[in-house]
Structure 1
């Protein structure tokens, strides 16, 4: 098995999904800082950008959570 196919398999595993969720959640820290800065400077355009980015982070986490549940369901069926 090549390293590339192992990496693709990891991405679709439970641990890979948890890692993706963690990195996505870390992105939320950057968004929070962006919102705080935009509010301090009363910059409406940056605030809108931060809110749209936050919506993307939330959506990404929801998709990863759904994938994690799907992986969990598969594990129960196999065991």
Structure 2
């Protein structure tokens, strides 16, 4: 994300990695959804963030931190850490 200028679309390989994380963190929401585009955006407080779009026109913000947390919680619980 930080290697892209604000407003740029992610390369195919970078987009695929983000989409895989989205599917792992919320399979019920993203397993059957085709993400058309992911781009960088200047979010609240001037921080760079990512936005996704299924149609290439309407974009929604993504939280990589939230996605990683959702993936990590089941793993930690399974290992007896929670």
Which structure has greater helix proportion?
A: 1
- TM interval, shorter chain, is 0.3 to 0.5
Q: So what's the TM-score if we normalise by structure 2?
A: 0.32
Find the structure with the greater CA-based Rg: 1
Query: Taking CA–CA contacts closer than 8 Å with sequence separation of 6 or more, which of the two structures ends up with the larger relative contact order?
Result: 1
